[in-house]
Amino acid sequence: MELQKDKILVLDFGSQYTQLIARKLREIGVYCEIHSHDVSKQEFEVFAPKGVILSGGPDSAAETNRLDIPEFLFTSNVPLLGICYGMQAMAKQLGGEVIKSTQKEFGFAKVQIDAESKLLDSVLDSSKNERSLDVWMSHGDVVISVPPGFSVVGSSANSSVAMMANEERNLFGLQFHPEVHHTKQGKAILEQFVKAVCACETLWNPTNIVEDLVEKIREQVAGKKVLLGLSGGVDSSVVAALLARSIGDQLICVFVDNGLLRFDEVEQVQKMVEKGFGSGSSFDLRIVDAEDVFLDRLSDTNDPEAKRKIIGNTFIEVFEKEAGKLNDIQFLAQGTIYPDVIESAAGKGGKAHLIKSHHNVGGLPSDMSLELIEPLRQLFKDEVRQLGRQLGLPSSIINRHPFPGPGLAVRILGEVKREFLSVLRRADKILIDELHNHELYEKVSQAFVVFLPIKSVGVVGDSRRYDYVVSLRAVETLDFMTATWARLPHEFLDLVSRRIMNEVEEVSRVTYDISSKPPSTIEWE
């Protein structure tokens, strides 16, 4: 593909920021992929990158038991940029010296620039005689002497080598993290590396791949039929829109109503399908009403993991049964996106550390012997959204907050009962409606109500009431791995609280969750 002609390889040494590096490069307009730190020479040659970025990682370059940068990279004549561990390992392997520092550097730092480097050519404002960078550091080891042929470009209070370069061989090292947004000139440095040093053209733009994807899907599917499990979330909706555009009525969507959905959710999905998911084409939608099966199996179950397992297994069973009713299906489409690919590779022995693995209720049986279609496999979430916009999906789908596979079951503490679901749906709708009314919905990353199966005393008029408690939850986050509770205005919280207590008579108390992640998680179970 022309859009992927100039590309960068990001080698993962286990940093929690590796995905951020790749996202930043794609934003800049250069296609990149993350591969494992032990990439083979053959894999490297097939991928044929114009430059390589070596990520940070938890290992210590000062120890012998560490991950090495593949030696062939140093003689490949391809520019290399080592970040944090990537720089320390580069220094060590090329003959420099790295030690464990007694003072860890974490957070903001100023890097003084002591020498010229082409990596900084368009980064520092020479008209203002700018000679420093505001950066984000997070490291224990430090380089104390650079390898032969390298010069020290910058230093900080705790690192005499905060930036090093071998200009002739196009080898660069940064002790700090240019990929995190706290590093003020970080994006400019990455841009300079890929555009000026590696000579990549900025050809990548996810909205330009629609026609290419449509063409590929048509070729792959030919005249056959495709089954898609629709959840109403962004990813599966974008896949539906793409498939509808590519193959129209050869697409069959199955939507399982597990009884754990939000207010009016089934109707909303139906409406979207009527509009052909923005494509103008119609396709076959089967809504499976499986509420009773799910809720019966969940009764008497309190343990969060046991609840998740029941829901996951029941989903597969219901989906398989429905698929069994269809003839002539050859393909199964899934909304797998790039972070899922990276994370499952990491789970299989790659280096990136998983904080929590999410079992999407979409893990489908392997014995269905259907060929997989995963058109979003190479895309990050923000790119999927751009694609969705290009395909004409409404912003109500594109900007929708994530909703967990196990649905409202993880927002009712302990046993799931119909009565609790009914209370939760009505309270949640009030919160979400008011967020929209106050133009706050898109300012928070995720918001919902949690049902607490405990009763608390209240008073209405002259009478005492003894009813349930709910908690409002709203968070801000970039990657859902860490999150802070959203500072919603007090007047807004007051309004939502009053509306819930007036309109949902089973609730006598509304609380607001002010826990951040970590140590809490976003969901309550």
Active site residues: 84, 177, 179
CB of 161 to ligand XMP, least distance (A): 37
In b/e form, how buried is each residue of 69-94, taking b as 16+ CB within 10 angstroms?
Answer: bbeebeeeebbbbbbbbbbbbbbbbb
| Distance between CA atoms of residues 302 and 313, nearest Å | 17
* Three-class secondary structure of residue 40 per DSSP: coil
C-alpha span between 426 and 449 (Å, rounded): 10
Which residue, 80 or 450, has its beta carbon nearer to ligand XMP? 450
User: Which C-beta is closer to ligand XMP: that of 24 or that of 308?
Assistant: 308
Applying CB under 6 A, the residues found at the interface with ligand XMP are 308, 356, 358-360, 402, 404-406, 446, 480, 517, 521-523
- Closest distance of CB 518 from ligand XMP, Å: 9
Which one, 57 or 406, has the nearer CB to ligand XMP?
A: 406
Residue count (the chain): 525
Contacting residues for 324 by C-beta, under 8 A, at least 6 apart: none
For ligand XMP, which is the closer residue by CB, 271 or 353? 353
Report the SS3 class of residue 349: coil
- Cβ burial of 511 (10 Å; 0-12, 13-18, 19+) is middle
- How many CB atoms sit inside 10 A of residue 454's CB? 10
For 168, the enclosing helix (H) or strand (E) is: none
Question: For residue 500, which of 412, 420, 425 has the smallest C-alpha distance?
Answer: 425
Q: Tell me the one-letter amino acid at 183.
A: T
For the residues of 102-145, what is the DSSP string, one character each? EEEEEEEEEEEE-S--GGGTTTS-GGGT--EEEEEEEEEEEEEE
Residue number with CB closer to ligand XMP (23 or 35)? 23
Closest to ligand XMP by CB, 283 vs 480, is 480
Work out how close the CB of 231 gets to ligand XMP at its nearest, in angstroms, rounded to a whole number. Answer: 9
Phi (first) and psi of residue 369, to 5 degrees: 45, 45
